[in-house]
């Protein structure tokens, strides 16, 4: 699939966020060539009057000056060094990053400014930036989440047309953990009737534990307008027998507790059963000694 890259400078790098667990976000790219069928960003795109269906992710905006702008913003006296979520609206390690290296440049800026950040990604390309992540983690809090909704190959292929296989993400996770970086797994989105079977959830939690994940969390599919139409089209193609139950479950964007609580309960029990915990041998924490060590390696 060909993707058009639109090189468009930005005026601001950091976005203020409301109603989320973080106050700031950063997206070096807009649009995502991974083109997951369930991508919640399709909803925002539709509200902004941009393509949210099949055309989503075929044209990616590249904020070519994002690192320079970020350096100015983090250099302001008023910057409180609050955690910035990188990748909340696009994957920072989608294919464009291989060419433009903007996420990497932003991580350098965070490290220089001793400012904390979290990353969420499906991209194993992150291991390319282990050196910067290590340096940043000795200067401020750093957390990485790998999104791994399932290890089932068929479900992955049908729902994530542009991502690397989930087991590659777990191999990348292992490398981060071995390097001392705090990294966990988000099982998201869990698809009711598709990827919510306890044995499929167990496969992910077990493999996350084996890869050394410091934490595992989950979230059930959210279908806002824009995402909903696209996802339902694909559901009708791939799992037509489930269309009636989805129409019933998704009268609102988020299904009721009768659907979400059992999934959360199962994952919580699996975490206990498999012993998911922070087992990093040499965790990197912000400290002058760790900083010296990271520089020496």
Binding-site ranges for ligand SF4 (CB under 6 A): 32, 34-36, 39, 41, 90-91, 122
Q: Where are the beta strands (DSSP E) in the chain?
A: 4-7, 14-16, 24-26, 29-30, 59-62, 84-86, 117-121, 142-147, 182-190, 216-220
d(CA 143, CA 181) in angstroms, rounded, equals: 7
Q: Which is nearer to ligand SF4, 103 or 115 (CB)?
A: 103
Q: Which is nearer to ligand SF4, 97 or 203 (CB)?
A: 97
Q: Which is nearer to ligand SF4, 115 or 227 (CB)?
A: 227
Question: Closest separation between CB of residue 1 and ligand SF4, Å?
Answer: 13
Question: Closest separation between CB of residue 155 and ligand SF4, Å?
Answer: 14
Question: Closest separation between CB of residue 10 and ligand SF4, Å?
Answer: 18
Asked if residue 158 lies in contact with residue 234, where contact means CB atoms within 8 angstroms, the answer is yes
d(CA 128, CA 145) in angstroms, rounded, equals: 16
d(CA 224, CA 250) in angstroms, rounded, equals: 9
152-179 residues labelled b (16+ CB within 10 A) or e (exposed): beebbebbbebbbebebbbebbbbbbeb
Question: Closest separation between CB of residue 109 and ligand SF4, Å?
Answer: 22
Question: Closest separation between CB of residue 214 and ligand SF4, Å?
Answer: 21
d(CA 170, CA 158) in angstroms, rounded, equals: 20
Listed residue (220, 166, 216, 217) closest to 192, CA to CA: 220
> 3-state DSSP helix/strand/coil percent for the chain, to nearest 5?
45, 15, 40
Q: Which is nearer to ligand SF4, 15 or 293 (CB)?
A: 15
d(CA 160, CA 157) in angstroms, rounded, equals: 6
d(CA 86, CA 160) in angstroms, rounded, equals: 20
Question: Closest separation between CB of residue 39 and ligand SF4, Å?
Answer: 3
Q: Which is nearer to ligand SF4, 46 or 122 (CB)?
A: 122
Q: Which is nearer to ligand SF4, 54 or 210 (CB)?
A: 54
Q: Which is nearer to ligand SF4, 90 or 266 (CB)?
A: 90
Question: Closest separation between CB of residue 36 and ligand SF4, Å?
Answer: 3
């Amino acid at each position: 699939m060909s993707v058009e890259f639109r090189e468009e400078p930005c005026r601001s790098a950091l976005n203020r966020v409301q109603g989320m667990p973080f106050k700031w976000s950063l997206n070096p790219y807009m649009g995502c060539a991974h083109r997951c069928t369930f991508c919640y960003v399709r909803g925002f795109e539709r509200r902004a009057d941009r393509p949210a269906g099949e055309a989503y992710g075929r044209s990616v905006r590249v904020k070519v000056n994002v690192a320079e702008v970020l350096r100015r913003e983090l250099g302001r006296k008023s910057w409180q060094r609050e955690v910035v979520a990188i990748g909340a609206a696009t994957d920072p390690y989608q294919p464009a990053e291989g060419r433009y290296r903007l996420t990497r440049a932003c991580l350098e800026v965070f490290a220089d400014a001793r400012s904390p950040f979290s990353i969420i990604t499906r991209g194993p390309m992150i291991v390319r930036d282990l050196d910067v992540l290590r340096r940043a983690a000795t200067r401020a809090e750093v957390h990485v989440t790998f999104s791994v909704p399932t290890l089932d190959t068929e479900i992955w292929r049908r729902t994530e047309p542009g991502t690397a296989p989930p087991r590659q993400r777990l191999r990348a996770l292992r490398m981060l953990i071995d390097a001392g970086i705090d990294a966990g797994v988000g099982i998201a989105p869990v698809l009711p009737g598709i990827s919510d079977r306890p044995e499929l959830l167990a496969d992910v939690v077990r493999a996350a534990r084996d890869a050394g994940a410091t934490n595992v969390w989950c979230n059930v599919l959210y279908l806002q307008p824009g995402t909903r139409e696209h996802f339902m089209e694909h559901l009708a193609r791939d799992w037509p027998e489930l269309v009636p139950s989805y129409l019933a479950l998704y009268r609102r964007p988020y299904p009721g507790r009768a659907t979400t609580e059992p999934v959360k309960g199962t994952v919580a029990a699996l975490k206990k059963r498999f012993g998911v915990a922070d087992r990093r041998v040499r965790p990197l924490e912000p400290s002058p000694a760790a900083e010296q060590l990271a520089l020496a390696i």
